[in-house]
Amino acid sequence: MKASLAIIASLFLSTCSQLPSTLSQILISGELRVVTLNSPSTYYLGAEGPQGPEYDLCAQFAADMGVALHIYSVRNITQVRNEVSSGRAHIAAAGLGTEQTAPPNAGYGPVYQRVKEHLIYRSGNEKPRDLRDAVNRGYMEVAANSPHSAMLHRLRLNEPDLSWAENPEAETDELLYRLSRREFEYTIADSNEFAIGRSFHPDIAIALDINQGKSLAWLVNKQDASLLSRVTSFFSVIESDGRLHRLLANYYDNSQRYTTPALKAREFIDNVRARLPLYEDWFKETATNVGMDWRLLAAIGYQESKWDPDATSFTGVRGMMMLTEDTARSLGVADRTDAQQSISGGAKYFLSVRKMVPSRIKEPDRTWFALGCYNMGFGHIEDARILTQSFGKDPDKWINVRQYLPLLTQEKYYAQAKRGYARGWEPVQFVDNIKLYISMMDWVGAEGGLAQKIEQMEADNMSNEEDGDK
């Protein structure tokens, strides 16, 4: 980067001509600098590497220009805006609303998404009629210094009795998690934030729309019009060819990822009957060959794909055990959609991450940590273990670490973590789900075919109901 800028400066001095445009400087240097926020609706480090709607958009934009993407996060929106205004970043991609005036030397690109602000409550509670009714019914908490906080302050000019608490340490996704745990009654979230949170916390719901919404756009360096023109053209193309819709749908149209416990159990039993008999022998054979419990292997497969060998995620992982292309290649899996190959690869991958867990950790904690690594990657789990130890708890016990994993959504904690922000409740739910599926298998009976056991059990239930009617 420094060498490229030196070349640009040399050319400028030798020719006494104007500096190249912002777009030309990016193309010459070969690097696009983007500032963002560390959050699930923008950018974060997932098990397969960088993820997030804003990250994916920026990666496509950089690829279209043929340059490398350098994306970095700062702590708040004020810093995001300053990075572009100062010229340190070419673009800010951080879920910014265009209702705020652009800072000096910057302008908004085209609107790529419109979101509403929702009042969120917990399903099963009485739904409030309006904000005043919500205040009378219970406690509302929002993130401090957030657009939601600013909106409430504006509303209070006409509603002086409106009250709420501001949390200086939590972002919206953390508040949605805490709301699902009944720590308070209400919070406020943008519709895109809610869409992501709802897929992990199925017991939260929209009480009402607070406003008609806001428009999201990138903030672009505007020392000249070149970069803004290229950004405008990019969004026009990806909107017309469907890429923008598909990308946003990957993150936000995902409401069925997690279901309520009752529906989850019912669906699992249905799939035990319909799908497991097709693959049960392969799970057992593979587990025997590698020395692990076949129920554990089958439970991982169900959690990852619901035993669907053709499953594909938006991040590019595929197959029964949801392996990345690189992981599959390293494990000798030629076809990720081949169920037998995928099951074998998934078993090998699980054992490989299990070896990363410190040998002093004994069972069953060793297995729970390995499952957390399978879901989120070793790095974030290690960050959570370090955090757990900082609270004076034993980091070798999963029951302790699962308590502190969700704190990696709070800036106070993830800012000190080596790998930054993480959706810490996700591996907790992943491990809990695996435990549930194994328990259900044990409950039905491990031998003689689970599907047949369930069919017999349901036949017995029907017979008992008929006897009762008589």
Is 411 in the active site? no
| Amino acid letter, residue 10 | S
Neighbours of 63 (CB within 10 A): 12
The contacts of residue 282 (CB under 8 Å, 6+ apart) are: 339, 340, 343
Handedness of CA 418, 419, 424, 426 (dihedral sign): negative
> Is the Cβ–Cβ distance between 302 and 280 less than 8 Å?
no
How far, in Å, are 38, 366, 373 from residue 404 at the CA level?
19, 17, 15
How far, in Å, are 15, 394, 431 from residue 267 at the CA level?
71, 36, 18
Compute the distance between CA of residue 407 and CA of residue 257 in angstroms, rounded to an integer. Answer: 22
Is 140 strand, coil or helix? strand
Residue 90 is given by DSSP the state S
Q: At what angle do helices 172-180 and 191-200 cross, to 10 degrees?
A: 40
> Is the Cβ–Cβ distance between 204 and 179 less than 8 Å?
yes
Pairing of strands 31-37, 68-74: parallel
Where do runs of H (alpha helix) occur along 259-305?
261-274, 276-290, 294-305
How far, in Å, are 111, 268, 386, 454, 457 from residue 441 at the CA level?
49, 10, 34, 10, 13
On the CB side of 193, CA atoms within 13 Å amount to 25
How far, in Å, are 4, 23, 32, 33, 407 from residue 7 at the CA level?
5, 16, 17, 18, 46
**Which one of 83, 117, 185, 304 is the catalytic residue?**
304
User: Which positions are annotated as active-site residues?
Assistant: 304
